[in-house]
Structure 1
Amino acid sequence: MALSNNVIAAINFIALILSIPVIGAGIWLATEPDNACVQVLQWPVIILGIVIFLVALAGFIGAFWRVSWLLMFYLIAMLVLIILLGSLIIFVFSVTMRGSGHAEPSRAYLEYHLDEFSLWLQRRVRSSHKWERIRNCLSSSTTCAELNQNYRFAQDFFNAHITPFQSGCCKPPTDCGFTFVNPTYWISPISNGASMDCSKWSNEQTELCYGCDSCKAGLLANLKEEWRNADIILLVSFVGLIFVYLLAFIALKNANSEQLFRRHKQGYV
């Protein structure tokens, strides 16, 4: 029985370790400027990772000090958390399936359109109240200003592989036909393009295209890339937790069977 408990404790210690990538994925998202402004996914991931850690710790303590009710709590709670983690992984994958950039002639970077993303993601930025808060947060970053330091000439900028956020928010849409002065300062043509975003562009460095739908689309494209990367980390932890949970369940079942056998045998002595 002692050996079985030690095995279960070792298995739960692995579950403790597997919770760290989940917490780390949430913290990484929180440190990204765009995710920090939107504040949608990082906190659920961080909280879920912390709860997985605490439940795994309870299982470890229960096995190491032979506290049966803690082990039962671990089995039930960890199963629920595994289901929640799996549901989160599926959800993130489903809302990031849509939305991809479009190439423009003589441009290395891509352009993005808001209506090509999932409706759930669109609702995160379409509300004027929500976008005003996000917009103020985005405009306070130095992401766009950094472009002016890196690209002085038009052709260098047109050949650059800038981020979706920079493409959508830091410059006017390419089809507006603006003339390049620097990455965040453009001369408007006599007649603006058909897109409503063309009239929303401002050379004021705190305005730029933060009011444009292209900025919302670029932000969502950035989120999509980062959420997909985080989803891979969550998936690896999810598979590991399932494997560890099954090992713990089998070990605990064998330990209980061994204990019942000993009690039954002692009854005949």
Structure 2
Amino acid sequence: MSMFRLSNNLVGILNFVTLLLTIPILSTGVYLSHHSSTDCAHFLQGPILGLGIVLLLVSLAGLVGACCKNSLLLWIYLFVMFVLIIVIFCFTIFVFVVTNKGAGEVVSGRGYKDYRLGDYSHWLQKRMENGKNWRKIRSCLVDGKVCERFSTDGTNRTLDQFVKENLSPIQSGCCKPPTECGFTYQSPTVWNKPATGFTSNNTDCATWENDPTILCYDCQSCKGGVIANLKSKWKKVAVVNIIFLIFIIIVYSVGCCAFRNNLKDNAYSGWKGNP
């Protein structure tokens, strides 16, 4: 009985670890599907369950293929890994391209920036302007209570204190009206419209409402703030993707060695079994 080779053992160990990682991923997806009552949670459960199922099937194919010397399963595993490498590489390039354009506008005397949807790439603009997409994102913002921090932390901020705050892009774009609208500050989420009318033609000025469920959630500035936040997250994801891509290529190379070993062992066993 021939001994397993190093590459087969490595593939088996790596896929066993991946198999264990699918347990919390699938558990999270199942929990969201049975206990979530918000659109935001329902929006997340599909990708989480899909990722968990794919990782489960791929890791099982790699584990059985390497440990049981099943060349067919190992070939399927390597094919999926190759596709994954191509997808991750293309996605990483895509992220750098679509997030290359656009940034918040620095406002004189303010610790935060203002955001405009039109400053970003057309692809991202179209995703935000899609009504179905935005309803889901808006639901996540409301459910996440991103604007309630100002009104529930017990701090009575003056205007001078507020303008010095380092607001996140979402807080700046969704929780207050654009600076150019000339609103009068009352509290971080309560702003009075100018009595003489707006001096700016920015449509967000008329969209703003002091209602906590409305605020500027339907403003173009809010969509721009979401994109700015998304840009920051995606660039971090792209860096992680590069590291993960290197790891996947190494695993794929080891898998190729294991596949070659399987073919040799099977050929040797078949030759040995012949009279």
| Alignment TM class, shorter chain as reference | 0.7 to 0.9
Distance 1:242 1:46, change over 3 A: farther
The amino acid of 1:249's aligned partner reads C
Distance 1:61 1:258, change over 3 A: closer
Is residue 206 of structure 2 the alignment partner of residue 203 of structure 1?
Answer: no
Specify every segment of 5 or more residues in structure 1 that has no aligned partner in the other structure, as ranges.
Answer: none
Match for residue 180 of structure 2 among 166, 169, 175 = 175
Q: What TM-score do the two structures reach when normalised by structure 1?
A: 0.79
Equivalent pair of 1:8/1:251 in contact (CA under 8 Å): yes
Q: What TM-score do the two structures reach when normalised by structure 2?
A: 0.78
Match for residue 222 of structure 2 among 209, 212, 215 = 215
What residue number does 1:193 align with? 199
What residue number does 1:184 align with? 189
Which secondary structure does the structure 1 equivalent of 2:186 belong to? strand
Distance 1:98 1:253, change over 3 A: same
What residue number does 2:35 align with? none
Alpha-carbon distance in structure 2 between the residues aligned to 1:59 and 1:136: 39
The two structures, once aligned, show a CA RMSD in angstroms of 3.3
What residue number does 1:142 align with? 145
Distance 1:128 1:63, change over 3 A: closer
The amino acid of 2:168's aligned partner reads T
Deviation at 1:16, TM superposition (A): 5.4
Tell me the alpha carbon deviations over residues 168-189 of structure 1, each in whole angstroms, 9 at most, x when there is no partner.
Answer: 0100001112222111011222
More displaced 10-residue stretch of structure 1: 251-260 or 232-241 = 251-260
Which secondary structure does the structure 2 equivalent of 1:171 belong to? coil
Give identity over the alignment, percent.
Answer: 35
Which secondary structure does the structure 1 equivalent of 2:218 belong to? coil
Q: How does 1:66-215 map to 2 (within 5 A)?
A: 66-150=69-153, 152-189=157-194, 190-194=196-200, 195-215=202-222
Deviation at 1:159, TM superposition (A): 1.3
Tell me the alpha carbon deviations over residues 128-148 of structure 1, each in whole angstroms, 9 at most, x when there is no partner.
Answer: 454345434433442111122
Count of residues in Structure 1 that have an aligned counterpart in Structure 2:
257
Tell me the alpha carbon deviations over residues 153-210 of structure 1, each in whole angstroms, 9 at most, x when there is no partner.
Answer: 2222211111111100100001112222111011222231311111211112221111
What residue number does 1:59 align with? 62
